């Protein structure tokens, strides 16, 4: 995993102090990667918990579940911060060059999703959208 991460243009400041986890920055945003041999889970800092409402988190979670491209993605609350995680499955049939390329594409997608979610969180939190507030009960029914 270290060799693959070192070759990524968006990745800087890699720290392998934990056995299977690497800490790094992804285009200046704190990130982590966990190696599970068959796949790599990459997490990137999303937002501080107090900066986003539970309604927005529910909305984002529903969006992640509904979209085919984000089926391997999830939000995690850890130490008062929301992290966006995404899994990248390693194909043993690929050579290292292809693996680096596909991981690079995945990292760019993760970064783009975080940028989009941050803009969404700012927009929804600042406008206090009545539509989300009115449909909060309906969202709860869908999640149940």
| pLDDT tens, per residue, the chain with 144 residues | 777 888 888 899 999 888 889 999 998 999 999 988 778 899 999 988 988 888 888 888 888 888 877 778 889 999 999 999 998 887 767 777 777 888 888 888 888 888 888 887 665 555 544 444 444 444 444 443
What pLDDT is recorded for position 137? 47
Q: How far lies 102's CA from each of 16, 51, 97, in Å? A: 22, 33, 9
The pair of structure tokens assigned to 115 is: 């940028």
Specify the DSSP class assigned to residue 53: -
Q: Which domains does the chain have, with CATH numbers?
A: 2-143 (3.30.1460.10)
- The 8 Å CB, 24+ separation contacts for 27-30 are 27/111, 29/111, 29/114
- What distance in Å separates the CA atoms of residue 71 and residue 73, rounded to the nearest whole number? 6
3-state DSSP helix/strand/coil percent for the chain, to nearest 5? 50, 30, 20
CB atoms closer than 10 angstroms to residue 88: 20
User: pTM, whole model, 2 decimals?
Assistant: 0.73
Burial of 43 from C-beta contacts in 10 A (0-12 / 13-18 / 19+): buried
> What pLDDT is recorded for position 121?
66
> What is 54-118 written as a DSSP string?
HHHHHHHHHHHHH-GGGTTEEEEEETTEEEEEEEEE--TTS-HHHHHHHHHHHHHHHHHHHHHHH
């Amino acid at each position: 995993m270290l060799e693959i991460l070192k070759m990524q243009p968006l990745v800087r400041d890699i720290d392998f102090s934990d056995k299977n986890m690497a800490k790094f920055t992804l285009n200046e945003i704190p990130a982590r990667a966990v190696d599970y041999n068959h796949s790599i889970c990459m997490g990137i800092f999303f937002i501080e918990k107090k900066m986003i409402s539970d309604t927005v988190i529910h909305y984002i979670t529903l969006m992640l579940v509904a979209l085919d491209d984000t089926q391997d993605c999830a939000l995690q609350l850890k130490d008062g911060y929301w992290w966006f995680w995404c899994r990248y499955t390693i194909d043993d049939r690929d050579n290292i060059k292809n693996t680096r390329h596909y991981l690079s594409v995945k990292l760019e997608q993760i970064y783009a999703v975080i940028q989009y979610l941050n803009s969404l969180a700012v927009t929804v939190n600042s406008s206090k959208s009545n539509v989300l507030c009115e449909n909060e009960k309906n969202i709860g029914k869908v999640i149940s």
